[in-house]
Amino acid sequence: MVSIIRAGSGEAGIPEGFPILLDADMAIIEPAFAWLLEHAVLRGRSRAGDTVRTYGEHLYDWFDSLEQSGLDWRKADEGVIVAYRNRMLEAPSPHTGRPYARSTINGRVSTVCRFYEWAGTRGLVVASPVRRVEQVTFGIGEEQAGLRRSAVNRLTVRTSERLPRPLRRDELARLFEELDPTARLAAEWALTAGLRRKELCGLSVDLIPDSFTIDPKEQPLVGVPLTITKGGKGRTVYPPLRLIDRTNWYIGEVRDGIVRRARGRRRNYRVPDNLLLNAQGVPLSRARLTAKLATAFAATGIDGTLHWLRHTFAMSMLVRLQIQARSNPDLNPLKVLQVLMGHASITTTAIYLRCVEIHDRDLTESLSFLYGEVIPDEG
């Protein structure tokens, strides 16, 4: 069975957190190592970026599949990749028990194809099993308007455009009832400040201000600078003061209880800086947070993921900004939302304009939830 480990700090020439794939004999899978390291080094990062980690997870799944089937990676052809793709289409994920999203399947297949194209240029395989076809698409948004031609991987599956929708007030209430205090707090930050999974798990206690010194009438929203973000570019988010109050309650009651129990179990326990801790007192991982939300969504029968809370924030905030722009013509709602969301391109943000038009009625209720009207106090 293939396994994956992460490089620690101090490894010469290897970024911290870099994914290393090992075969059943615990030997490094050299071609995967070389390809991933080339990506990490060319980007000039001191730490392995999220893209490299994702590629590593994709290749781990691919090589593990090959090993379980008794196949040599160098002899894999288009038919083997198709079989790998079809298996994901037909069987649920062993981790979540739910069907794979087509975007997940395409991501894995695309990574495998990129790897083989690279291996072909290095002479590691006789010929790449990947063939590309030209596709013509329409660009979305003003910056990409018009026709675009691109070479696409014909092994990926077709996906229909699925615009995100806001979660309704009743759905949010049911979802929050299924969450433990730590996952619930993470969900509230995603919903009211638009944080991504990485940013939620990267929140530290020292970033949370003392809410007792803040006047809610003068400062209903509180600026909190994020240091761990997608792409490493810092930004400031503005959660409502009510959430800061609840976060301080979590630190004093829930988190401190977790820390006390961890100290009782381990004498050498060191308290992490992270705001969100699991039951063992270690930082809540992105995978575990995703799993907690997936379980809650499944329990309530709601179609969605943790990221849908961020979508709900984006659409609700855009409506609020559009209302403000009526009396302030200098305000550009889309540009402000781009900054709040941390999008590199305003084209990504522009998708929410269409969502707002479609889901206007649901957003009226989402706005009230966004500012805490149905999030009860627990202190």
- Domains of the chain and any CATH numbers: 3-129 (no CATH), 169-370 (1.10.443.10)
374, 359 Cβ separation under 8 angstroms: no
- Write the burial class of residue 323 (CB in 10 Å: 0-12 exposed, 13-18 middle, 19+ buried): exposed
172, 297 Cβ separation under 8 angstroms: no
- Rg, C-alpha atoms of the chain: 23
Q: Which two tokens stand for residue 46?
A: 């001191």
Q: What is the DSSP letter of 213?
A: G
Query: Averaged in consecutive runs of 10 residues, what is the pLDDT profile of the chain (379 residues)?
Result: 85 81 93 90 56 90 93 91 90 78 87 91 83 45 38 62 81 94 96 93 94 80 85 84 93 96 94 96 93 94 91 90 88 91 88 81 62 47
- Whole-number pLDDT of residue 370: 61
- Whole-number pLDDT of residue 131: 66
Q: Provide the β-strand partners of residue 181.
A: none
- Whole-number pLDDT of residue 203: 95
C-alpha span between 49 and 18 (Å, rounded): 8
SS3 136: strand
SS3 364: helix
- Whole-number pLDDT of residue 375: 46
